[in-house]
Amino acid sequence: MTAIERLTEPAFTVGESPVWRAEESALYFVDIPAGKILRLDPATGRLDAWSAPEPVGCIAFASNGTLIAGMQTGVFSLELAADGTVAKARLGTPGFALPNMRFNDGRCDRQGRFWAGTMHNDMAAAHAVGGLFRYASPGGLTGPVVGGLVVQNGLAFSPAGDRMYLSDSHPSVRQVWCLDYDIDSGMPTNRRPFIDMNAHPGRPDGAAVDEDGCYWTCANDGGCVLRFTPEGLLDRRIDLPVKKPAMCAFGGPGLDTLFITSIRPADPAALESQPWAGAVFAARPGVKGLLETPFASPA
């Protein structure tokens, strides 16, 4: 059994996109529908928040210290002000297939290109109109490089950067794929099945890769985080006191802490058995992760 530590109050509707900022010894993450970007100091428990002008799906740090984010209407460069506000500059706008779409899960590849996927906000409608986009400088926003997704999720890269992982967490899909990744061109090819989550608890939500190349996925609705070897074999399970873990990330001074965000359901009855849903948790799984590569900012 792996001990689970609760780091925050259950205050977040959809906690997502945790990113460890080693320069600050702090964890950044977002609350998507609230349009909040948050910074947690695990050593002191201090929590800072910034209010963005629209929902924020995912964030990554740029090499110049600013943020790049996939948001409701596009990809933006963000600066966090001391007064809790966010200044944004649009970098690119995708060709959304339908109204009421937004960016969801994303991160940088090992070379510093930013990747993020889109989805329709009405999950019940199961519109397979989401796609995976790449933003690079130079090059701008391109895509969809991968299309036909309902709820894009689970984006991660192998330690060498030559393999991309991608999932669709919609209940009707519940699949994780791996793709060969050309580190020079930034193009994925040869998409193939990696994990059929219909054989495991939950749906494959946000993910992380450890230094051994193993893939950790948050089993949304399954109340756990699962670790799969590069061959796709399940070899570790961490049970959580919440049903909807959303995304995980390695951090801490030794990169040996697994931070896990979660989702707080709107139905009060659904909270009776999981009062801490919506909090951020930490575990020590006995393995180390990798630092995220910052976005390569233009000169």
Return left, alpha or beta for 255; rule: phi > 0 is left, psi -120 to 50 is alpha, else beta. Answer: left
Active site residue 205: yes
Contact 66, 76 (CB under 8 A): no
Pairing of strands 234-239, 245-251: unpaired
Pairing of strands 257-262, 203-209: unpaired
- With H, G, I as helix, E, B as strand and everything else as coil, classify residue 141: strand
Q: Name the percent of the chain in helix, strand, coil, to the closest 5.
A: 5, 55, 45
DSSP string, 180-227: EEETTTTEEEEEEEEEEGGGSSSEEEEEEEBTT--EEEEEETTTEEEE
* Residues counted in the chain: 299
CB atoms within 10 A of CB 248: 25
Contact 217, 211 (CB under 8 A): no
Q: Give bridge partners of residue 15 from the DSSP assignment.
A: 31
Distance CA 166, CA 181 (A): 12
The pair of structure tokens assigned to 288 is 């180390």
Give first-to-last CA distance, the chain, whole Å: 48
CA distances from 50 to 31, 199, 206 (A): 10, 39, 22
Distance CA 39, CA 4 (A): 20
* Active-site pick, 31, 105, 109, 205: 205
Q: Any idea which residues carry the catalytic annotation? A: 205
